[in-house]
Amino acid sequence: MYLRASRLDLDNYNNDTNEGCHTTSMAGTWMAVVHGFGGLRVRNNKLILAPFIPENWSSCSFKIMFRGALLNIKVTKTLLGIRNENDSGVNLSVFNIDYFLSAKGSLQITLQ
């Protein structure tokens, strides 16, 4: 279903892209990557990440704004990299381990 939603307009499955893009499909695709593959949740005012990469992918990346921190997140099969591009630090948890990412700081976590 993810592949169908992500390719809906690119492959013009319904022969209707001349009438406009399917923005709800685009939003669903973004949510699948960020919340699904990125494992992003917010609990108790803390950002939670539990990412994984689908078998046929080598990596995925996305940016999010959380509590004044612009986070650039990249996930590969073996590494999670998070870079804070703003002047606000942020509390986060990756696979139930708590971290504080300082302003303009970065974090690299080896994945199993």
* 15: DSSP letter: S
Residue 94 is given by DSSP the state E
User: Is residue 9 scored above 70 in pLDDT?
Assistant: no
* pLDDT tens for each residue of 42-75: 998 899 999 999 899 999 999 999 998 999 999 9
Same domain for 49 and 19? no
Please determine, for residue 112, whether its predicted confidence score (pLDDT) is greater than 80.
no
Q: Are residues 59 and 82 in the same domain?
A: yes
Q: What's the whole-number mean pLDDT along residues 2-24?
A: 64
Q: Are residues 56 and 28 in the same domain?
A: no
Give the angle subtended at the CA of 55 by the CAs of 60 and 85, to the nearest 5°: 15
One domain for residues 54 and 24: no
Q: Are residues 69 and 110 in the same domain?
A: yes
Amino acid at 49: L
Q: How confident is the model at residue 1 (pLDDT cuts 50, 70, 90)?
A: low
The pLDDT of residue 90 = 93
Range of the domain at 22: 1-37
Instruction: Taking residues 72-84, report their average pLDDT.
Output: 96
